[in-house]
Amino acid sequence: MTATTNVLIALKNILDRNSCRLTPIFRSNGLANTAGDSLEYFIKDMFCTGGILHSVEEDKNKIYDQYLSWKGNSSNFPDFIVKQGVGVEPKKMNGKGTGSLSLNSSFPKAYIYPDTQNLPPKELINEREWDKKSIIYAVGNLDRNNDKLLRLWLAYGNTFIAEERVYSGLKSKIKDTIENLTNAEFVPSVEFGRIKKVDPLGNTNLRLRGMWELAHPEAVFQKFLKMRDIPQGATKINLIISEADYRLIEKKPDLSLYIESGKLIKHKVLIPNPNYSLDNISVYLFETYTD
């Protein structure tokens, strides 16, 4: 039987663990990973039940192989992909700030497609054919003094990110404008583009690189939050998922114990549609905390 997972299972695993303290991950050579790596492993562990029991990378990977079709690397987006499920991209921030998330040369994504820029090669994603996957941004604010998360958001991209055409359309307009401003040769590239032969002798090229930023989910959804008072030193956890995506999750874990105790709040709200600001979409917002 194939192991299955989803964001609700990840949320339950976080609640069951009752801690968002990041622990060192060791490779076979005995070296520990960085704090950023530790956040990525923590999120993987919460999606891949049992992963948290291991501290050695090789042992964790054996668990991840059961749940993930792509375990990630430093070059491709997203960080990992659940088998027949979502893509997940952890983003680490230091301290309590809710400033913009740096995405560098890759624009934000509500979904990924087989031809999405910077996606790993098709043959490296170990699952059957697929057309579209939702993306979850796992945004963790880290207290570097004790390697503990101050805040964690699990936010579906389609709740606050527009369709790909919005971003790709802007890139096309910028390219067209540049080409109309100069007689130099414009060459598209993975980053954004290059303008070759800028000077009369053609000795100079200009490299263009986009630097995209995305609003922190806390800044976007703050006005919809209900849980204000949590124990001092606790980690606030939020999950936002569209009602449509929630209905598609077949295996929903039992969260009633946490809801009845008041530690977990689940409520349905209407938020602005990322593609049409005059429309709304229905979402579920989960609010909880860990010690």
Identify the pLDDT of residue 35.
Answer: 47
Identify the pLDDT of residue 30.
Answer: 60
Answer yes or no: do 195 and 286 share one domain. no
Answer yes or no: do 34 and 155 share one domain. yes
Q: Are strands 80-82 and 87-94 parallel, antiparallel or unpaired?
A: antiparallel
Residue in 164, 170, 166 with CA at minimum distance from that of residue 117? 164
Answer yes or no: do 198 and 117 share one domain. no
Answer yes or no: do 62 and 182 share one domain. no
Answer yes or no: do 189 and 256 share one domain. no
Domain range holding 232? 7-160+215-290
Greatest pairwise CA separation for the chain in angstroms = 74
Q: Are strands 148-156 and 235-242 parallel, antiparallel or unpaired?
A: parallel
Answer yes or no: do 185 and 154 share one domain. no
Identify the pLDDT of residue 137.
Answer: 98
Instruction: Give the pLDDT of the chain (291 residues) as one tens digit per residue.
Output: 567 999 999 999 999 999 999 988 887 666 566 545 789 999 999 999 999 999 999 999 999 999 999 999 988 999 999 999 999 999 999 999 999 999 977 899 999 999 998 899 888 999 988 999 999 999 999 998 889 999 999 999 999 999 999 998 887 888 788 778 777 787 877 777 888 888 888 899 988 888 899 999 999 999 999 998 999 999 999 999 999 999 999 999 999 999 999 999 999 999 999 999 899 999 999 999 999
Residue in 141, 43, 146 with CA at minimum distance from that of residue 98? 141
Cα separation values, 113 from 15, 91, 118, 135, Å: 32, 21, 11, 10
Answer yes or no: do 171 and 244 share one domain. no
Residue 2 domain flag: no
Start-to-end C-alpha separation, the chain: 34
Residue in 225, 213, 216 with CA at minimum distance from that of residue 271? 225
Answer yes or no: do 102 and 18 share one domain. yes
H or E element: which one contains 23? none
The answer to whether the beta carbons of residues 239 and 154 sit under 8 Å apart is yes
Residue 1 domain flag: no
